[in-house]
Amino acid sequence: MDNRPQWGTRAGFIMAAVGSAIGLGNIWRFPGVAYENGGGAFFIPYLFALLTAGIPLLVLEFTIGHKNRGSAPLSYARLNKKAEWVGWWQVAIAFVISTYYAVIIAWAMSYSVFSFNLSWGEDTNGFLFGEYLQVAEQPGQLGGLVGGVFIPLVLVWVITLGVLSAGVKKGIERANRIFIPTLVVLFLIIVIRAVTLDGAAQGLDAFFKPQWDTILNGKVWVAAYGQIFFSLSIAFAIMITYSSYLPKKSDITNNAFITGFGNSAFELLAGIGVFSALGFMAMQQGVPVGEVVSKGIGLAFVVFPQIINEFPAFNAFFGFLFFGSLVLAGLTSLISIVETFVAGVQEKFNVSRRKAVLVGGGVSALISVLFATRGGLYFLDVADEFINSFGVALAGLVEVIVVVWFLKQLNSLQSYANSLSDILLGTWWKVCLGIITPVILGYMMFDKIRTNIT
Ligand code: PHE
């Protein structure tokens, strides 16, 4: 066990954990979700979810990984042989996500190059679906290869697998130590510019204006928990894997708080930036902010290029910063997702890291090519919806039920974490994990099934 790779520094681990957490979800998902679910009022369920589920679960996962010193399947197996499948299930979800997450990073890479001469033109929607993804469908053409998603996709995989084969300290830690500070600086420049645009105030007003009546709506609470889970990369085997590389003496509870708050701080910053920019665009078009709000692919690849087109100056520069930020935020998350199955395969089959990277990462890379065509977009949507609906909530639910109720591990994990930290986990931690989180996740599942049936 002693030759297990380790993070070089505490900051290195925190960068990697925050790097996993900060991803596309922070930039393109959170702002829209908050707006749709009560604006300023959404912060109450959101904070509640962060404090009752997000951080307690992060502490739980960090403790499981640190104590058992293994990838997710091995860590669960060390808790109890019969629980190994929970780890494999989470690894499987991470695997599915990796196949389409990589494609979106590749798009962002293309778009950062397109920024130089605003090649998306006026009709950004037509460009994305009619041209960019169209060429991607015929990669046989030279233009298709260069202009389409193929080359960037290869690049995304070369970087990710290159980083992973360099190891925990020399690869993952080093990449995050470069990418995360760079991302924060780039993003701050964008946000500062965005809040000083004409119309930014109206955008922020739309974002922060509380709609108090939403607070009693169960859907809003489900949205808050869903956002926290996805955004903190919980129940995906990631945080267990990453914390298994921590040195013996590590304050895991404290690390979990830093990671949780760091991620939310970035999320808030993204909300401010995105809504300032939306406010600007609404003003340019003379429409209310509500009409230009969007999220996901539409926000990043249709609306944002329009905003960049209308920027008062340095359009290309800001376009490059925005898509460059997406690339960095995405890559650090993708690295963490792929690491889960690399570590799982490596330990299970006792092969070298390089081999595990080549096989695990290679298969995911091949599948991602299928998503990279226009037809693949449909599957991408289906996979994303499925993962968000069933993967996350269900895996989280199973995790707490197995660890807390079946294996009855809470007391021993609590004293383990407390022996390493100044922040002592009290009864609140057990109540959050044993009761609040399973009840809310259970409700979430029930709600999804009900709305899917009707
Ligand atoms: N947390 C990342 C985000 O906010 C995404 C992610 C999800 C990463 C699941 C890993 C696993 O985008």
369-378 tens-digit pLDDT: 877 765 566 6
pLDDT at 423 over 80: yes
Q: Is the pLDDT of residue 443 over 50?
A: yes
Q: What does the alpha-carbon distance between residue 173 and residue 11 come to, in Å, rounded to a whole number? A: 9
pLDDT for the residue numbered 142: 45
Ligand 1 center from residue 314 Cα (angstroms)? 31
Torsion of Cα atoms, 162 then 166 then 172 then 175, to 10°: -60
Close Cβ partners of 238 (under 8 Å, ≥ 6 residues apart): 20, 94, 336, 337, 339, 340
Q: What is the rounded average pLDDT of the residues 19-26? A: 95
Residue pair 293/203 in contact by the 8 Å Cβ criterion: no
Could you tell me if 60 and 433 are in contact, meaning their C-beta atoms sit under 8 angstroms apart? yes
Of the listed ranges 128-137, 141-150, 232-241, the one predicted with least confidence: 141-150
226 lines ligand 1 (CB under 6 A): no
Average pLDDT, the chain: 92
* HEC readout, 312-348: CCCHHHHHHHHHHHHHHHHHHHHHHHHHHHHHHHHHH
pLDDT of residue 134: 73
| CA 16 to ligand 1 centroid distance, Å | 12
DSSP-assigned letter for residue 246: S
Question: Which of 30, 98, 179, 231 for a ligand 1 pocket mutation test, highest count of atoms within 8 Å of Cβ?
Answer: 231
Residue 378 confidence (pLDDT): 67
Band of residue 57 on the pLDDT scale cut at 50, 70, 90: very high
Residue nearest ligand 1's atom 9 by CA:
233
Find the 98 Cα to ligand 1 centroid distance in Å.
10
Examine the pLDDT at 1 and tell me if it is beyond 80.
no
Is ligand 1 within 6 A of the CB of residue 340? no
Q: What is the pLDDT of residue 186?
A: 97
Distance 396 CA to ligand 1 centre (A): 14
Question: Between 146 and 5, whose confidence is greater?
Answer: 5
Cα–Cα distance, 383 to 79 (Å, whole number): 31
Q: 231 CB under 6 A from ligand 1?
A: yes
Domain boundaries, the chain: 10-453
The pLDDT score that the predictor gives to residue 376 is 65
Higher-pLDDT residue of 226 and 143 is 226
Residue 280 φ/ψ, nearest 5 degrees:
-60, -45
**Does residue 274 or residue 386 have the better pLDDT?**
274
How many Cβ atoms are within 10 Å of 116's Cβ, its own excluded? Answer: 12
C-alpha torsion angle, residues 162, 381, 118, 124 (rounded to 10): 170
Examine the pLDDT at 305 and tell me if it is beyond 70.
yes
21 lines ligand 1 (CB under 6 A): yes
Which range, of 39-43, 92-96, 174-178, 278-282, averages the lowest pLDDT?
Answer: 92-96
Instruction: Give yes or no for a contact between 340 and 237, defined as CB atoms under 8 angstroms apart.
Output: yes
Read off the pTM.
0.94
Instruction: Report whether pLDDT(118) > 80.
Output: yes
Which pLDDT does position 383 carry in this prediction? 72
Integer Cα distance of 11 and 411 in angstroms: 28
For the CA of 392, the closest atom of ligand 1 is 9
Q: Of the candidates 71, 21, 76, which has an alpha carbon nearest to the alpha carbon of residue 50?
A: 21
Q: Where residue 296 falls among pLDDT bands split at 50, 70, 90?
A: confident
Tell which CATH architecture fits domain 10-453. Orthogonal Bundle (1.10)
Percent above pLDDT 70 for the chain: 94
What distance separates the 2 farthest-apart alpha carbons in the chain? Answer: 64
Note the residue count of the chain: 454
Model confidence pLDDT, tens digit, residues 189-209: 999 999 999 999 999 999 999
390 pLDDT above the threshold of 90:
no
Residue 419 has a pLDDT of 96
Distance in Å, CA 234 to ligand 1 centroid: 8
CB atoms within 10 A of CB 166: 17
Residue written as token pair 């299928």 = 370
- Read out DSSP for 35-103? HHTTGGGGHHHHHHHIIIIIHHHHHHHHHHHHHHTS-HHHHHHHH-GGGHHHHHHHHHHHHHHHHHHHH
Burial 8-27 (b: 16+ CB within 10 A, else e): eeeebbbbbbbbbbbbbbbb
Average pLDDT estimate for 172-192: 98
The predicted pLDDT at position 211 comes to 95
Written as six digits, the tokens of 131 are 């041209």
- Which residue type sits at 132? Y
Q: pLDDT confidence of 141, banded at 50, 70, 90?
A: low
